[in-house]
Amino acid sequence: MGVAARWLWPLAVANLAANVAIVVTGGAVRVTGSGLGCPTWPRCTEASYVVHGELGVHGVIEFGNRMLTFVLVAIAIACWVAALLARRRRPLVWATVIALGIPAQAVLGGFTVLSDLNPWVVALHLLVSMAIIAVCVLLVDSLRGPARLAAPERVRRLGWLVFAASWVVLYLGTVVTGSGPHSGDAESRRTGLDPQVMSHVHAVAVYVLLALTIGLVVLARRSGARQVARAAAALLGVELAQGVVGFTQYLLDLPAALVVLHLLGAALVSAAVTGVVLAGCQRSRGSSATATNSSAR
């Protein structure tokens, strides 16, 4: 195994971890009211690319989150180079999507600042991060995913239904946030929707997702699709933990720490539900090596 191939796996894992981490730090920016700590983009202020003392702690928090983007870019580029040099075709595709997606996400983050934290733009910004996390899971699986047969058709269909329901839940979560108090800045406008009503709508979607996930666990076990059953059970555990955090933060009037923890849970839901879909797809043993040999020819 060459040097590039040895580095590809840890870089793929680092890609996933870093993209989950920036969701959490982005949440910290919001709950501390630091979303406009740097009031413009790509500069921090009209006169400077870096934060200065007059912007206070909010400027430091927002600028620090911006700097983390460069860490993500560095990891993504290193991973892409490793995939290219290792001649891994499918990992190279996913690494390319990530390497292009992170700078695009940074530009979208700039638009959120230029729009004065328009809640709909902020919601899109978060959902793109969730999509990048899903691609990171695809990359990790393409490298060292277990060998598996395709699950029965009805199991795969239900898995895709769970996937769709989870994304509805993630989207509605952004709508709840956009109507609630954590706008990222005291002067930023909200969606105008009733946060309590939207919280209940979000909760109904969560109930549907839980029911579908439980159904998938049962169906997969009865159908002998053990890998799908394990992946769905893991997703169910994340969903239950996320539900506890969600209800607790609602009852306690959205304390900042729980809001950030809830965002971490959302990132884990995106990762776990992607794993559910992958568990239903066929993957031959040594498929990465096959792809390598094929591309070499």
Confidence (pLDDT) at 297? 37
Work out the average pLDDT over 118-130.
Answer: 94
Pick the residue with more confidence: 4 or 154? 154
Joined together, the tokens standing for residue 222 give 């009865």
Residues in contact with 209: Cβ distance below 8 Å, sequence separation at least 6, in sequence order: 162, 165, 166, 168, 169, 239
Contact assessment for residue 278 and residue 160, using Cβ atoms and an 8 Å cutoff:
no
d(CA 41, CA 38): 8
Using one digit for the tens of pLDDT, what is the confidence trace for 23-34? Answer: 999 999 988 988
Confidence (pLDDT) at 285? 63
Rounded to the nearest 10°, the torsion over CA 58, 64, 68, 69 is 60
* Share of residues in the chain with pLDDT > 70 (%): 95
H/E element holding 2?
none
Out of 33-47, 108-122, 219-233, the most confident range is 219-233
**pTM flag (> 0.75):** yes
Confidence (pLDDT) at 275? 97
Residue 292 predicted with pLDDT over 50: no
Confidence (pLDDT) at 185? 74
SS3 at position 48: strand
Out of 2-11, 125-134, 182-191, the most confident range is 125-134
287 band by pLDDT with thresholds 50, 70 and 90: low
Using one digit for the tens of pLDDT, what is the confidence trace for 145-190? Answer: 888 999 999 999 999 999 999 999 999 999 998 888 877 776 777 8
User: Closest Cα to residue 95, out of 142, 145, 127?
Assistant: 142
| Alpha-carbon distances of 102 from 22, 30, 198, 272, rounded to whole Å | 11, 20, 30, 21
Confidence (pLDDT) at 276? 98
Using one digit for the tens of pLDDT, what is the confidence trace for 44-70? Answer: 988 888 887 778 898 999 999 889 999
> Could you tell me what percentage of the chain is helix, strand and coil, using 3-state DSSP and rounding each to the nearest 5?
75, 0, 20
Confidence (pLDDT) at 206? 97
294 band by pLDDT with thresholds 50, 70 and 90: very low
1 band by pLDDT with thresholds 50, 70 and 90: low
The angle, 0 to 180 degrees and rounded to 10, between the axes of the packed helices 153-179 and 226-251 is 20
209 band by pLDDT with thresholds 50, 70 and 90: very high
120-141 exposure pattern, b = at least 16 Cβ within 10 A, e = fewer? ebbbbbbbbbbbbbbbbbbbbb
List, in sequence order, every residue forming a beta bridge with 283; answer none if it has no partner. Answer: 148
Confidence (pLDDT) at 272? 98
SS3 at position 45: strand
d(CA 28, CA 57): 13
Burial of 174 (0-12, 13-18, 19+ CB in 10 A): buried
Using one digit for the tens of pLDDT, what is the confidence trace for 223-241? Answer: 999 999 999 999 999 999 9
Confidence (pLDDT) at 3? 75
Work out the average pLDDT over 257-286.
Answer: 92
Pick the residue with more confidence: 208 or 182? 208
The angle, 0 to 180 degrees and rounded to 10, between the axes of the packed helices 89-114 and 56-86 is 160
Residue 293 predicted with pLDDT over 50: no
User: Closest Cα to residue 66, out of 48, 51, 79, 78?
Assistant: 51
